[in-house]
């Protein structure tokens, strides 16, 4: 009987040791999986931040490519000295209206990059507000030197607020598009 107990005892010990080492392996495996998941999340977060900053530059460049006629018109009608003639103001106004419509169309044509798919709805809503801002500006251009464009300004502010929310959720400082979109 003693002869049978020794192999039984050794078999039990082997199983016990194997079970313990299996638990250690699964714990290490879980830690490795957790680390890989965390690294993947950090990588995704960095890609999103990078895509967001690149897209910000694209939006600014898209607007600035055609909006200078708007600022030219606004500054020309506000001049005290060397004020352009009524004909020149009318020409500048037509150019500004065309420019504002072009900016609105170009903004509507922007594609939200794949890296920002998780925020696509929010970004698209913001872009819609930006496009509406320029459409409204085109429709309401005034020859008055101190004309206010309240509706257009509110739509632009809504664009900035929506984009700021996306930036803050991504862990970035909210940008000031108004500072970058002025020529």
Global pTM value: 0.76
Domain hosting 111: range is 44-180
Q: Distance between CA 81 and CA 59 in Å, rounded?
A: 35
What's the confidence (pLDDT) of residue 33?
Answer: 57
Residue 128 domain-assigned (yes or no): yes
CA–CA distance from 127 to each of 83, 147, 174, 177 (Å)? 35, 25, 16, 12
Residue 32 domain-assigned (yes or no): no
What's the confidence (pLDDT) of residue 15?
Answer: 52
Residue 171 domain-assigned (yes or no): yes
Residue 92 domain-assigned (yes or no): yes
What's the confidence (pLDDT) of residue 146?
Answer: 81
89 burial (CB, 10 Å; 0-12 / 13-18 / 19+) is middle
Residue 19 domain-assigned (yes or no): no
How many domains does one find in the chain?
Answer: 1
Residue 143 domain-assigned (yes or no): yes
What are 8's two structure tokens?
Answer: 């039984």
Percent of all residues in the chain with a pLDDT value above 90, rounded to a whole number = 61
Residue 37 domain-assigned (yes or no): no
Residue 58 domain-assigned (yes or no): yes
Q: For residue range 154-171, what is the model confidence (pLDDT) as tens digits? A: 999 999 999 999 999 999
What are 129's two structure tokens?
Answer: 């507000």
What are 161's two structure tokens?
Answer: 């607020």
């Amino acid at each position: 009987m003693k002869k049978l107990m020794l192999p039984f005892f050794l078999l039990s010990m082997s199983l016990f040791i194997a079970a313990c080492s299996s638990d250690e392996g699964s714990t290490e495996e879980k830690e490795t999986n957790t680390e890989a998941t965390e690294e993947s999340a950090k990588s995704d977060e960095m890609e999103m931040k990078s895509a967001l900053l690149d897209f910000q530059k694209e939006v600014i460049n898209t607007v600035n490519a055609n909006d200078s006629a708007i600022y030219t018109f606004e500054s020309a009608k506000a001049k005290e000295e060397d004020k352009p003639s009524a004909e020149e103001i009318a020409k500048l106004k037509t150019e500004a209206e065309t420019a504002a419509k072009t900016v609105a169309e170009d903004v509507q044509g922007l594609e939200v990059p794949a890296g920002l798919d998780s925020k696509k709805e929010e970004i698209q809503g913001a872009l819609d507000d930006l496009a509406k801002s320029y459409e409204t500006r085109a429709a309401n251009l005034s020859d008055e030197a101190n004309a206010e464009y309240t509706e257009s300004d509110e739509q632009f502010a809504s664009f900035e607020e929506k984009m700021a929310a996306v930036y803050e959720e991504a862990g970035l400082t909210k940008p000031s598009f108004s500072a970058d979109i002025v020529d």
